Structure 1
């Protein structure tokens, strides 16, 4: 160990930096050894899966043709398998964010953690190469910069995922009033709820493709034998929109008590219009308060310069004489 530290110290001329590099190499070697041992034990403990992979020519079931995963992310599955959270609230919350963003594949969470690991390692090496040519930085600062870059690379996919989920939820929420109006018209014209959902999904393919995709998925589940309320409840969970959840609860009560679905949809449509009007009035009432800051910091200084500026110039000119 000391010989290796001396060899690295001869190249870097920094004993502390050399020790950090040796510690990193030892940690990487231990991690690689542990992963290799885990893969070996797994393969020996399950010879049936090994034989199936050898006969079918596939490394994993999830790597079958057409799943859309890259080979780089698939190769990191042995590592990400150990980084995945347990069956607690964090995994459920992350899985919900993936579904809200539109990623419903079974290996979506594994791909996310593989991307986090790959991006974190890439940014770490980029930061190390960028700070290597700066001789003014000490080893402690270089280590902090590298760790900060790795941390940013690890949390950046979560930020992007939150942005995609919020954007998709906003798009579905914006398209829900049109879908509700079309659904009321279809049901009142004599169509059943399933046929009305199919018709509305076809009409919204161009204007609101995200909501149309969810409605098509509901129709597929209903044709597969799933109960209509359960299929609609699944759509509410996938989209994360509270308005759709309220509509599903109202339809569930209507089906249980035997009331008219058309009347239920009409009442909910009227309540939803009132709710949107109240939300618009609330936003309009907040405008006066929000305009204080741009008026104070942007408009008022310019008005002050234009109105009082000439008088100040005259006063300065008089005192200058």
Structure 2
């Protein structure tokens, strides 16, 4: 508290006004805390609202959704709705990133921003408590540390989300060659495309669960009446993998012009195999350049010490005499 008072006093250069400002900030923080606590307790404890949730099926739907929101994140919705991106393009981009990471619930964006607010407040509190025990820090340094901690708490969910999206896309991309080979085998053995997708989705349930879940979701959409190509396009948009998008475009052309789906899958499988071979050759060609850094910073200093070290020690011994 004294650090905050000193910081405000440095900005206003008036101790009385600084005290008024600190008292106002403390009062506002206490009021916001008690209002949030009241809303949280009222929403969770009121029997009428609990009965309404049971009758409308909201609680059961959230429990079945797989990514159910916690009560703490739900209580922050009145605050996070003011932080949501206002442009539809930003919302679509964030929603696509969430879908690529595997979060498909409608409330995923609100949960993300609620988590950002919660982490920002927690990081600010931790930084404030950590700096309050160090009397050597000035007010400017305390302000910078608290601002940096708040910023890190705000951007940390985006960094984790980006990591999760890339990891899931990498897992789907790694399992796509096996799924494509199995699709070729199933279609050439006489199965239709829908039945082949279902069979391949079941076979990949253990080795590649992410891709298996996407293919099973495609089968569910087809059974619900969605067009087969539209369901495959939805899978390409959900995964964000360019190889799947190319396969869907090729299947669309095959169905539109009446060509054989088995031949189409066979040609795409061969092209994709060549593409993988070229990517492997490209990575192998980069090894020589990448080895420069470990050779320079790891092996060369050790070689220099072993080869030149004794001579340098001998020179020091001679000059020491």
TM-score interval (norm. to shorter): 0.7 to 0.9
CA distance in 1 between partners of 2:75 and 2:181 (Å):
48
Are residues 188 and 294 of structure 1, via their aligned partners in 2, closer, same or farther at CA, if it must alter by over 3 Å?
A: same
Matching residue of 1:73: 73
User: 308-317 vs 177-186, which deviates more?
Assistant: 308-317
Query: What does residue range 136-151 of structure 1 map to in structure 2 within 5 Å?
Result: 136-151=136-151
1:21 and 2:22 are equivalent in the alignment = yes
CA distance in 1 between partners of 2:168 and 2:50 (Å):
41
Q: Secondary structure of 1:308's match?
A: helix
CA distance in 1 between partners of 2:187 and 2:83 (Å):
49
Query: What's the CA shift for 1:172?
Result: 0.3
User: 58-67 vs 242-251, which deviates more?
Assistant: 58-67
Alignment root-mean-square deviation, CA:
3.1
Matching residue of 2:241: 241
1:226 and 2:222 are equivalent in the alignment = no
1:214 and 2:237 are equivalent in the alignment = no
CA contact (8 A) 1:63 1:74 kept: no
1:56 and 2:49 are equivalent in the alignment = no
Are residues 306 and 118 of structure 1, via their aligned partners in 2, closer, same or farther at CA, if it must alter by over 3 Å?
A: same
Are residues 248 and 320 of structure 1, via their aligned partners in 2, closer, same or farther at CA, if it must alter by over 3 Å?
A: same
CA distance in 1 between partners of 2:143 and 2:30 (Å):
19
Q: Secondary structure of 1:56's match?
A: helix
Are residues 130 and 278 of structure 1, via their aligned partners in 2, closer, same or farther at CA, if it must alter by over 3 Å?
A: same
CA distance in 2 between partners of 1:83 and 1:132 (Å):
30
Matching residue of 1:193: 193
Matching residue of 1:269: 269
Are residues 305 and 33 of structure 1, via their aligned partners in 2, closer, same or farther at CA, if it must alter by over 3 Å?
A: closer
TM-score w.r.t. length of structure 1: 0.83
Matching residue of 1:4: none
CA distance in 2 between partners of 1:272 and 1:261 (Å):
16
1:94 and 2:107 are equivalent in the alignment = no
CA contact (8 A) 1:116 1:155 kept: yes
Query: What's the CA shift for 1:140?
Result: 2.6
Structure 1 portions without partners, runs of 5+: 1-7, 40-51
Aligned length: 300
Query: What's the CA shift for 1:74?
Result: 0.9
CA distance in 2 between partners of 1:237 and 1:31 (Å):
41
CA distance in 2 between partners of 1:216 and 1:84 (Å):
32
Are residues 82 and 100 of structure 1, via their aligned partners in 2, closer, same or farther at CA, if it must alter by over 3 Å?
A: same
CA distance in 2 between partners of 1:203 and 1:99 (Å):
24
Query: What's the CA shift for 1:31?
Result: 7.3
